[in-house]
Chains A and B, each alone.
Chain A
Amino acid sequence: MLKINNLTKKFNERTIIDNLSFEVENSEILTIVGPSGAGKTTLLRCISGLESFDSGEFYLDGKKFNPYEDTGSESVIGVVFQDYQLFPNLTVLDNVTLAPQMVLKQSATEAKQSALKRLSRLQLDGKENLYPYQLSGGQKQRVAIARALAMQPKILCYDEPTSALDPELRGEVSRIIKGLKQDGMTQIVVTHDMDFANDVADKQLHVVPVK
């Protein structure tokens, strides 16, 4: 379970997130919706440790942690970026296996085996030796998901997972997210897309810009 207490985030004295508290149960899907500029991306960046915050507490399964400062390989929070940010110089397989090998110290064969299994479940069979530029948007996104999952995160975050995709692919994304829920993954999804949000959400968080 992820629990956030009284999170406040300012950019140069301008408060973006004001005293926000919420929690996500294990294997729950939380969607965060709200108008543009409400601070959804900023919240996700705080949770995943990419942005410092001014005050607040984070608990993962009852244990306090600081996502910005704790950079060990435990309490990992996976991120699927809006623009995926795959590594263009690495193959699909290397994108997925790089961090498990370098950070989790998995052997090459071990990392490769679980990567291939994951890629296959995400309908990416046969794509492992391609480079990101050779993939469609939806395929890139699934590689990004596989890459994040390979680090065995406790929580997986998505920023606007449907924004860069054709509308027909929306159903595909919600199917993947629900499938991961079946596997027990806790997920936080930021989105503009209300239909999509209502489709996948177990719980919804509405945020509005701070006045």
Chain B
Amino acid sequence: MKQLRTGVEPRLLVLLNYLLIQEDFFIIGGMNMLSLHYISQILPSLLVGTTMTLKIFCWTLIGALPLGMIFGLGLVSNIKLVKYFLNFYVWLMRGTPLLLQLIFVFYGLPIVGIVFQRYDAALFAFILNYSAYFAEIFRGGLQSVDRGQYEAAKVLRLSYWQTIRKIVIPQVAKIVLPSIGNEVINLVKDSSLVYVIGIGDLLRAGNVASARDVTLIPLLLVGVIYLLLTAVCTYVLRRVEKHYAYWR
């Protein structure tokens, strides 16, 4: 080895080293002892990253779903000022990249004296962004409920909130579910944008390990974990859709 090293370019050495780790991985499909050992070494840090990704995912949904629903009600309300404001907000949030919004909140706002912690900045930007998408989805859902349904409820003397609760929300939920599902899947992947403001999410964990150990394995694992997360989401969403499938 020593002899070899003298004559060989350092870059080639890196490549050799790389192949040494990778070779078996690719030949035996990654199930040999060496790469299993390596995976078990990096998995904890990837799981820490996954936890962060899931935290951002969950809190964004918890914040953005109700906000989006309220904004959606506002978008179909008769109050002009509310409608103009919400339309502007939706236009702004959907018309600019989420990445820009993240950078703006974390790196931009401190310039004018508004400082967020990384994590708070991420949640702030994500909730505002996703609320806009959800608001548009709920607006569409609310508008597709026949006006006759409100009138039928009215002549039966149901109050506004009884009507919303018993008639409108179940119908809107069924209508919006597929679109909401799309956004939920997007959110799993969009959460990786927090990378840019230095949050240790799943993608960052994988990238760090990959750069440090000069191997593809962490990045492949990251891909597998994202696939698992979206698969779970897809499954849960299907179940919820099925729950609403008993009527048409």
Contacts and interface: CB of A to CB of B under 8 A. Distances in A.
A90 B171 CA distance: 10
B148 A147 contact: no
Given A88-B247, A89-B174, A76 B157 contact: yes
A191 B226 CA distance: 61
A26 B78 CA distance: 40
Contacts of B156: 98-99, 103, 147-148, 151
A98 B167 CA distance: 10
A103 B148 contact: no
Contact of A102 (B162, B170, B174): B162
Contacts of B154: 49-50, 71
Interface string A52-92: 00000000000000000001110011110101011111100
Nearest to B154: A50
A114 B174 CA distance: 30
Contact of B248 (A99, A133, A151): A133
Contacts of A48: 155
A196 interface: no
B163 to A, nearest CB: 10
In this complex, the interface size class of chain B, counting residues with CB under 8 Å from chain A, is: 20 to 34
B158 interface: yes
Contact of B157 (A86, A103, A147): A103
Interface residues of A, number: 28
Interface string B121-153: 000000000000000000000000010110111
Contact of B171 (A85, A89, A99, A102): A89
Nearest to B170: A89
A50 B247 contact: no
Nearest to A100: B156
B239 interface: no
Nearest to B166: A98
Nearest to A88: B247
Contact of A89 (B146, B158, B167): B167
Interface in B18-75: none
Contacts of A77: 155
Interface of A: 48-50, 71-73, 76-79, 81, 83, 85-90, 98-99, 102-103, 131-133, 147-148, 151
11 contacts: A71-B157, A85-B152, A87-B149, A87-B152, A87-B167, A88-B248, A89-B167, A89-B247, A99-B158, A131-B246, A132-B247
